[in-house]
Amino acid sequence: MLYLIGLGLSYTSDITVRGLESIKKCSRVYLEHYTSILMAASLEELEEYYGKKVYLADREMVESGCEEILRDADKEDVAFLVVGDPFGATTHTDLVLRAKKQAIEVEVIHNASVMNAVGSCGLQLYNFGQTVSMVFFTDSWRPDSWYNKIWENRKIGLHTLVLLDIKVKEQSIENMARGRLIYEPPRYMSISQCCEQLLEIEELRGTKAYTPNTPAVAISRLGAPTQSFKSGTIEELSRSDCGEPLHSLVILGRQCHDLELEYLLEFAEDKLEFQKAVSQDQEYFKPEPWVPPIEEED
């Protein structure tokens, strides 16, 4: 059996009872280690808590060398651990499909992820549209495919969850070209950098999917002991220091319920200014009032 087990967001103990019981009977345990990190637990702490050796599975192993993970999984139990939920922000359907092609049984054990825990900022999950990812820009690569998704969400009034890039065990272009297995230090995108990139692309595109005055909420270390939220405009958050990673951002949609706003005001430095920004944004992309067609006379 191959177990895909969600670990939750932060603590060793965030794992479900069923997930922990499954790990304890597995002969090998792998931890996916390139899309997120468990903020309040080290690898050593996980191994002590599980009573098992845990192998780190980087992107190369999962995407190219997954046969090692699947080895003998038709005869014994193997666990593949994912921070959050196995089918949350990052899905692992390819691994499941490969297992099924080899007649390996698969069981998924779910857990909390950013996709549902984001509701703790006060915004209703029903009011979220498409989720987008913001990657680190480079001198030669500044992708903006996410822009249209934000525009579509904003057009129908829905909030947009923006997941910020992390770089774990990544190689520089030079080292990759030379075949040197030298890895860059881990990097985690900040709220301010995300907002700067948002504003840069809006200036280039110029179609006003959002503006510097669009209200948003910064989410820091979701599910961790130091979890925090900060409400403000994109421009304001581009100048903010939200502390240690991990970070996410929500761009508000036009349809912001009164209860959502009341909750968000608790995280605003200037409540009146933020309320004003939200009120102005209510008019943004507001549909034209419906006017009945004029009936032609016979």
Task: For residue range 152-169, list pLDDT tens digits in order.
Answer: 999 999 999 999 999 876
H helices of the chain, where?
17-24, 43-50, 59-63, 67-70, 93-101, 114-117, 146-155, 173-177, 191-205, 234-237, 258-265, 271-282
Report the range of poorest mean pLDDT among 85-94, 150-159, 241-250, 275-284. Answer: 85-94
Q: How much of the chain exceeds pLDDT 90, in percent?
A: 74
* Same domain, residue pair 61 and 134: no
* Same domain, residue pair 120 and 263: yes
43-50 helix and 17-24 helix, angle to the nearest 10 degrees: 80
Mean pLDDT value across residues 65-91: 90
* Same domain, residue pair 107 and 145: no
- The edge-to-edge listing of strands for the beta sheet with 228-233 is 132-134, 160-164, 247-251, 215-220, 228-233
Residue 149, pLDDT score: 97
Q: What residues make up the domain containing 278?
A: 115-285
Establish if 199 belongs to a structural domain.
yes
What is the domain-level CATH number for residue 198?
A: 3.30.950.10
Tell whether residue 113 is among the known ligand binding residues. yes
Residue 243, pLDDT score: 95
Mean pLDDT value across residues 223-244: 96
pLDDT higher than threshold 90 for residue 290: no
* Same domain, residue pair 124 and 203: yes
Q: Of the residues 81, 112, 143, which one is the last residue of a structural domain?
A: 112
Strand partners, 161: 250
* Same domain, residue pair 241 and 129: yes
Establish if 291 belongs to a structural domain.
no
Mean pLDDT value across residues 20-28: 98
Residue 298, pLDDT score: 62
Q: What CA–CA distances, in Å, run from 204 to 34, 51, 134, 164, 201? A: 31, 53, 16, 21, 5
DSSP H or E stretch at residue 82: strand 78-82
CB 29 within 8 A of CB 68: no
Residue 89, pLDDT score: 67
Q: Of the residues 112, 144, 169, which one is the last residue of a structural domain?
A: 112
* Same domain, residue pair 158 and 235: yes
* Same domain, residue pair 120 and 74: no
Residue 263, pLDDT score: 97
pLDDT higher than threshold 90 for residue 11: yes
Residue 181, pLDDT score: 59
Residue 212, pLDDT score: 97
Mean pLDDT value across residues 73-96: 90
Mean pLDDT value across residues 28-51: 91
* Same domain, residue pair 188 and 217: yes
Confidence of residue 171 (pLDDT cuts 50, 70, 90): low
Query: What token pair was written down for 117?
Result: 């825990």
What is the domain-level CATH number for residue 19?
A: 3.40.1010.10
Confidence of residue 244 (pLDDT cuts 50, 70, 90): very high
Cα radius of gyration (the chain): 22
Residue 180, pLDDT score: 63
Q: What CA–CA distances, in Å, run from 8 to 11, 58, 114, 204? A: 8, 19, 9, 38
Mean pLDDT value across residues 226-244: 97
Establish if 281 belongs to a structural domain.
yes
Query: What token pair was written down for 248?
Result: 């996410």
Q: What is the mean pLDDT of the chain?
A: 92
Number of domains in the chain: 2
* Same domain, residue pair 81 and 180: no
Confidence of residue 294 (pLDDT cuts 50, 70, 90): confident
Establish if 21 belongs to a structural domain.
yes
pLDDT higher than threshold 90 for residue 251: yes
DSSP code, position 121: G
pLDDT higher than threshold 70 for residue 172: no
Mean pLDDT value across residues 21-25: 98
Establish if 122 belongs to a structural domain.
yes
Establish if 265 belongs to a structural domain.
yes
* Same domain, residue pair 68 and 149: no
Establish if 70 belongs to a structural domain.
yes
271-282 helix and 258-265 helix, angle to the nearest 10 degrees: 150
Mean pLDDT value across residues 257-274: 97
Tell whether residue 198 is among the known ligand binding residues. no
* Same domain, residue pair 143 and 262: yes
Establish if 47 belongs to a structural domain.
yes
Residue with tokens 């903020």: 39
Tell whether residue 247 is among the known ligand binding residues. yes
Q: Of the residues 51, 84, 112, which one is the last residue of a structural domain?
A: 112
Integer Cα distance of 95 and 106 in angstroms: 10
What is the four-CA torsion angle of 123, 124, 128, 134, rounded to 10 degrees?
A: 30
Q: Which residues, other chains included, contact 130 with Cβ-Cβ below 8 Å and sequence gap of 6+?
A: 149, 152, 153, 160
* Same domain, residue pair 39 and 162: no
